[in-house]
Chain A
Amino acid sequence: MFKTARRGLIKGAVAAMVMGLGLSATGTYAQAETTLKIVPHSDLKILDPIWTTAYISRNHGYMIYDTLFALDESGNIQPQMVDTVTTSDDGLTITMTLRDGLAWHDGAPVTAADCVASIKRWGSKDAMGQKMMSFVDSLEATDEKTITFKLNAQTGLVTLALAKPSSNVPFMMPERIANTPSSEQISEFIGSGPFVFNQEAWEPGTKIVYDKFEGYVPRSEPASGLAGGKVAKVDRVEWLPIRDQQQAVNALKAGELDYIEGLPHDLLPLVEGDENIKLVDFNPAGNQFTFRFNVLHPPFDNPKMRQALLYALNQEDFLQAQIGNADYYKACKAMFGCGMPFETDAHMDGLLESNFDKARELIKEAGYDGTPILLMHSTDLAVLTNLAPVAKDLMEAVGLNVDMQSMDWQTLVARRAKKEAIADGGWNAFITSWTAGDLFNPVAMAFLNSSCETALFGWPCDEKIEGLRDAFARATTKEEQLKIVEDVQGAWFEYPTHIHLGQWNQATATRSNIDGVLPTGAAVFWNISKN
């Protein structure tokens, strides 16, 4: 009796102490009304989405900035901050009027001068922006709300480039911020997007906080892709980078988190079948694995050797080895992505089917002398790890001598920038992955840029491809553009710059009370509600 009473007393005392301390598994934070807690695909380090092409900075951009145009779910260009667009009869003057009610997070109205400065900064940094600006004679704010482009030639590139969905996205910033040279990072983070960056609450490496922008006036159209009304349906979004994805899954299952961006495929079985969790895909167009050549050094300085790989490789082996689950990948011969606006199989017959005989024939014709091919193998990004060994096997099957060197991704990033000979730290090939939004046309696709010195690492150099990219930029109709895309694939076959190794998707896991994830191609958080 006494023992029972004493135990009761002890329990009571412990309970009182626990309550006094405010112990609870959910913590004692003062929370905003509705807080969406998400695990982004990586930590946000750089806050200037024009300075870097990192996807996490792009996603940060979508939180706080807005764009003049955007692509809808079907890949069509729609006005976003813009109300009306008019093009002169000769096609050389484009006038855009901003819609009413646009305001910066500091309360100032958005003006055409702000947008002009933003376009100029982006246009000096981004490859597609540079191409667009090459058509621009003058770009001016002709009044508070009107932006006027005077062009030196007709082009369909202006609105297409301003609707660019992935890095670098032409985000609009106040003029004083956009006047920062593109070689320097901005230090003030004021946008006109649906969320405000809460700089005081930012804990680098730990927590990034965005609050709903009460002054945002969304478009009246329903949200579609990156276009339409951007309605913030939660009061706060917290990005909580967690390195250990297994732990992120545990926290999601325990209800501590609402959303994990891009769940690794091997962790899917842990959440499949859990009624509290659902899987969504905000990027149905997916991603594309890409094999990149360095054309500066033998043997890939010879286009025939690169063509040999077009025959030697096949997409299924790579996709099977890396993704494994057929629900999350598809072989796709279209360079510009399946399900994308410029999808075509032109000039792809017989390629990417592991036709070893044809590959050996081309290697023989190229006079390959057994020079070792230095293939860089990234080991610390789970989504790339298994690809290089597959490439090595397939290349060796056609008689190539492959020296596969394993390294962490950051070492690879540093090495791929080196033009030196292999013996001095150079390289021949590596494999990476792009999101479909980066590949959707010949101007946007960075690996197709064949402008020699100014091309991306790998430095392809081909006048024909460059001529076709220019022609694409000049084209003003979709039909014209599609025809050029077909020709581009033909030119690419003659002068391969890279090889696409198949399309893959990645599920995002959310709690089942989360609704409204949009198919945008990037992780955006407007339209999402927490019920």
Chain B
Amino acid sequence: MFSYLLRRLLATIPVMLLVAVFVFMLLRLTPGDPAAIIAGDYANDAQIAEIRSKLGLDKPLPVQFMVWLGNMFQGDFGESFFYKKQVGELIAARLEPTLSLSLLTIILTVCIAVPLGTLAAYRQGSWLDRGIMGFSVLGFSLPVFVIGYILIYVFSIQLGWLPVQGYQRISDGVGGWLLRLILPSVALSVIFVAFIARMTRTSVLEVLGEDYIRTARAKGQTESKVLMHHAVRNAAVPIVTVIGLSFAILIGGVVVTESVFNLPGLGLLTVEAVLARDFPTIQAVILLFSFIYVLINLAIDVSYTLLDPRIRY
């Protein structure tokens, strides 16, 4: 197991290197000049060239790449072209909102989707099953920003129960922190509930048709025990895979939700950096997202051994 983990971790190095090359080249090939953006509307050619030189953007691309890579190996992700702050600092400040939103969303999703999916499978063909699957289709079809605006209109503007926007750090009070995350996480969880409920239903349905389920019932076990101990447990591997991947997608894909609810997370930082062509920030954020993906995939693989004793590495 340990050697497996080590192998997988070592394998991340070439993956991250490839991502680094790809991101670096992609950004340089994108039209747009950070120096011209920084200089502002009145700047003339000489002023823009001067800024370009200060940022090191006048050096040949391989030199720029090696400088960036060398600094990164020393834990230095560079300085934001615009904020004149270390990119590591910027990212650290934005991690909390994104992780908070992602964690709350995934908890909410799992708490709703797995029971719903299991119930739908258990009552296959019933009105309950159709209702849940109908909701699932609706959840897939509604864009998150539409759900967000509807929730804001009802709960913030009409009822005044919850704030419209903004984020409060957990260190400033758990209450305010939670209050500001309720609407975004509900809005965001709808699509994931729809997705994971469907996945759970399919997996549980498959297991419910297995011989050992029939045997368990024949032995006189209660339906709840059959469902929880035998069906859901054996259906867990694909469900956990989807939940893990959903979490990874959440961390990298909360841009719209962060934008609608004005949450200062990594998603918003990425959008701002892309629009401003803030190369060091974009590069670091994408590398971080890639690294999180790799780690979550690894965690999913490891979790298989806990869920299914037949799986060994």
Contacts and interface: CB of A to CB of B under 8 A. Distances in A.
Interface in A159-208: 167-168, 183-185, 187, 203-206
B29 to A, nearest CB: 12
B25 interface: no
A21 B37 contact: no
Contact of A242 (B163, B165, B271): B165
A498 to B, nearest CB: 13
B262 A242 contact: yes
B160 A25 contact: yes
B62 interface: no
A413 B160 contact: no
A254 B160 contact: yes
A127 B31 CA distance: 28
B174 A417 contact: no
Contacts of B50: 183
B90 A243 contact: no
Given A205-B268, A417-B36, A254 B156 contact: yes
Interface in B69-118: 80, 82-85, 90, 93-94
Chain A binding surface SS class: loop
Contacts of B260: 244, 247
B140 to A, nearest CB: 23
B6 to A, nearest CB: 38
A204 B54 contact: no
A431 B152 CA distance: 37
Residue among B40, B43, B90, B269 with the highest chain A CB neighbour number at 10 A: B40
B276 A417 contact: no
Contact of B32 (A52, A204, A414): A414
A253 B44 CA distance: 42
Interface stretch (B175-183, B216-224, B228-236, B295-303): B175-183
Contacts of B45: 417, 419, 453, 457
B161 interface: yes
Contacts of B272: 43, 205
Given A23-B178, A28-B172, A410 B164 contact: no
Interface size of B as a range: 35 or more
Contacts of A187: 84
B44 A410 contact: no
A480 B41 CA distance: 30
A266 interface: no
B39 interface: yes
A455 interface: yes
B11 interface: no
B36 A24 contact: no
Contact of B262 (A53, A243, A432): A243
Q: Pick the 5 closest A-B CB pairs, nearest first.
A: A53-B40, A21-B175, A414-B33, A45-B82, A22-B175
25 contacts: A22-B176, A23-B176, A23-B179, A26-B163, A27-B163, A27-B179, A28-B173, A29-B176, A53-B39, A53-B43, A167-B40, A183-B54, A184-B54, A203-B264, A204-B80, A204-B83, A205-B90, A240-B262, A251-B164, A254-B156, A414-B37, A434-B41, A446-B42, A455-B44, A457-B45
Interface of B: 31-33, 36-48, 50-51, 54, 80, 82-85, 90, 93-94, 149, 152-153, 156-157, 160-168, 172-176, 178-180, 259-262, 264, 268-269, 271-272, 275-277
